[in-house]
Amino acid sequence: MDHLNYCPTCFELSLSLSSKGVIFVYINGLKLQNGHFLFNLEKQTRQELSQTILLKIEECLKWHAKLKNPRPIKDISIVSDDFICENNSSHLIGKKISVMEYFFEPDNYYRSIKLLCEKLSLPFSLEIS
Ligand SMILES: [Zn+2]
Protein backbone atom coordinates (compact mmCIF):
# COMPACT_ATOMS: atom_id res chain seq x y z
CA MET A 1 0.00 0.00 0.00
CA ASP A 2 1.52 3.30 -1.01
CA HIS A 3 -0.59 5.65 1.10
CA LEU A 4 0.74 6.51 4.58
CA ASN A 5 -1.11 8.00 7.54
CA TYR A 6 0.11 9.73 10.66
CA CYS A 7 0.62 7.29 13.49
CA PRO A 8 -1.33 8.28 16.63
CA THR A 9 1.39 6.74 18.80
CA CYS A 10 4.71 8.01 17.39
CA PHE A 11 3.24 10.96 15.36
CA GLU A 12 5.15 10.10 12.23
CA LEU A 13 3.90 9.52 8.71
CA SER A 14 4.55 5.83 9.11
CA LEU A 15 1.22 4.06 9.18
CA SER A 16 -0.02 1.76 6.44
CA LEU A 17 -3.16 -0.31 6.23
CA SER A 18 -2.82 -4.00 7.09
CA SER A 19 -3.61 -6.44 4.32
CA LYS A 20 -6.51 -7.87 6.33
CA GLY A 21 -8.92 -6.46 8.85
CA VAL A 22 -12.22 -4.74 9.40
CA ILE A 23 -13.53 -1.50 7.92
CA PHE A 24 -16.22 0.40 9.85
CA VAL A 25 -18.69 2.89 8.38
CA TYR A 26 -19.88 5.77 10.55
CA ILE A 27 -22.63 8.11 9.41
CA ASN A 28 -22.98 11.33 11.40
CA GLY A 29 -20.80 9.64 14.02
CA LEU A 30 -23.12 6.62 14.36
CA LYS A 31 -22.36 3.06 13.42
CA LEU A 32 -25.12 0.60 12.58
CA GLN A 33 -24.98 -2.87 14.06
CA ASN A 34 -23.92 -4.26 10.67
CA GLY A 35 -21.96 -1.17 9.60
CA HIS A 36 -18.68 -3.00 9.17
CA PHE A 37 -17.12 -5.71 7.02
CA LEU A 38 -13.94 -7.73 6.65
CA PHE A 39 -11.39 -6.86 3.99
CA ASN A 40 -8.52 -8.88 2.59
CA LEU A 41 -6.19 -7.12 0.18
CA GLU A 42 -4.56 -10.42 -0.71
CA LYS A 43 -7.82 -11.54 -2.29
CA GLN A 44 -9.60 -8.31 -3.20
CA THR A 45 -8.33 -5.42 -5.31
CA ARG A 46 -8.63 -1.84 -4.10
CA GLN A 47 -11.14 -1.27 -6.88
CA GLU A 48 -13.31 -4.16 -5.65
CA LEU A 49 -13.06 -2.93 -2.08
CA SER A 50 -14.03 0.62 -3.01
CA GLN A 51 -17.22 -0.83 -4.53
CA THR A 52 -17.83 -2.89 -1.38
CA ILE A 53 -17.38 0.26 0.73
CA LEU A 54 -19.89 2.20 -1.36
CA LEU A 55 -22.41 -0.66 -1.12
CA LYS A 56 -22.02 -0.71 2.65
CA ILE A 57 -22.44 3.08 2.80
CA GLU A 58 -25.57 2.77 0.67
CA GLU A 59 -26.94 0.09 3.02
CA CYS A 60 -26.35 2.40 6.01
CA LEU A 61 -27.85 5.41 4.20
CA LYS A 62 -30.97 3.37 3.39
CA TRP A 63 -31.40 2.78 7.09
CA HIS A 64 -31.09 6.53 7.73
CA ALA A 65 -33.59 7.24 4.94
CA LYS A 66 -36.21 5.17 6.79
CA LEU A 67 -36.01 7.34 9.90
CA LYS A 68 -38.68 9.95 10.50
CA ASN A 69 -37.10 13.34 9.88
CA PRO A 70 -33.61 12.02 9.14
CA ARG A 71 -30.88 14.42 10.12
CA PRO A 72 -28.89 15.79 7.18
CA ILE A 73 -25.95 13.57 6.29
CA LYS A 74 -22.97 15.64 7.37
CA ASP A 75 -20.23 13.19 7.86
CA ILE A 76 -19.47 9.71 6.57
CA SER A 77 -16.29 8.11 7.79
CA ILE A 78 -14.75 4.86 6.71
CA VAL A 79 -12.22 3.81 9.31
CA SER A 80 -10.20 0.86 10.53
CA ASP A 81 -7.85 0.08 13.37
CA ASP A 82 -5.96 -2.50 11.36
CA PHE A 83 -2.79 -0.54 10.66
CA ILE A 84 0.90 -1.27 10.88
CA CYS A 85 3.45 1.35 11.93
CA GLU A 86 6.92 1.27 10.34
CA ASN A 87 8.32 2.24 13.74
CA ASN A 88 6.65 -0.78 15.30
CA SER A 89 4.37 1.34 17.46
CA SER A 90 2.05 -0.75 19.59
CA HIS A 91 -1.33 0.22 21.10
CA LEU A 92 -2.82 0.87 17.68
CA ILE A 93 -5.83 -1.39 18.31
CA GLY A 94 -8.93 0.64 19.00
CA LYS A 95 -7.50 3.77 17.36
CA LYS A 96 -9.69 4.11 14.32
CA ILE A 97 -8.14 5.94 11.40
CA SER A 98 -9.66 6.93 8.07
CA VAL A 99 -9.05 4.58 5.16
CA MET A 100 -10.78 6.83 2.63
CA GLU A 101 -7.58 7.83 0.88
CA TYR A 102 -6.57 4.21 0.38
CA PHE A 103 -9.62 3.59 -1.78
CA PHE A 104 -10.87 6.90 -3.18
CA GLU A 105 -9.87 10.22 -4.59
CA PRO A 106 -11.56 12.62 -2.13
CA ASP A 107 -13.51 14.36 -4.90
CA ASN A 108 -14.85 11.08 -6.27
CA TYR A 109 -15.72 9.88 -2.79
CA TYR A 110 -17.83 12.95 -2.00
CA ARG A 111 -19.42 12.89 -5.45
CA SER A 112 -20.41 9.22 -5.01
CA ILE A 113 -21.91 9.92 -1.59
CA LYS A 114 -23.77 12.97 -2.86
CA LEU A 115 -25.30 10.81 -5.61
CA LEU A 116 -26.30 8.13 -3.10
CA CYS A 117 -27.97 10.75 -0.87
CA GLU A 118 -29.83 12.19 -3.84
CA LYS A 119 -30.93 8.73 -4.96
CA LEU A 120 -32.37 8.06 -1.47
CA SER A 121 -33.80 11.61 -1.12
CA LEU A 122 -31.70 12.15 1.99
CA PRO A 123 -30.84 15.70 2.99
CA PHE A 124 -27.10 16.20 3.10
CA SER A 125 -24.60 18.90 3.92
CA LEU A 126 -21.32 17.11 3.54
CA GLU A 127 -18.30 18.84 4.89
CA ILE A 128 -15.22 18.10 2.88
CA SER A 129 -12.31 17.61 5.20
ZN1 LIG B 1 4.06 4.73 15.11
| Cα-based distances in Å from 62 to 50, 65, 74, 81, 92 | 18, 5, 15, 25, 32
Ligand 1 mean position to 18 CA, how many Å? 14
Ligand 1 mean position to 87 CA, how many Å? 5
pLDDT of residue 76: 92
- Residues 61-104: tens digit of each pLDDT: 999 899 888 889 998 999 999 999 999 998 888 889 999 999 99
pLDDT top residue among 43 and 125 = 43
Res. 128: pLDDT tops 90: no
- Residues 24-73: tens digit of each pLDDT: 999 999 998 899 999 999 999 999 999 999 999 999 999 989 988 888 99
Ligand 1 mean position to 15 CA, how many Å? 7
Res. 1: pLDDT tops 80: no
Ligand 1 mean position to 90 CA, how many Å? 7
Ligand 1 mean position to 88 CA, how many Å? 6
Ligand 1 mean position to 119 CA, how many Å? 41
Ligand 1 mean position to 22 CA, how many Å? 20
Ligand 1 mean position to 108 CA, how many Å? 29
pLDDT of residue 55: 96
**Residue 70: CB atoms within 10 Å:** 18
> Long-range pairs for 28-32 at CB < 8 Å and ≥24 separation?
28/64, 28/71, 28/73, 28/74, 28/75, 29/75, 32/60, 32/63
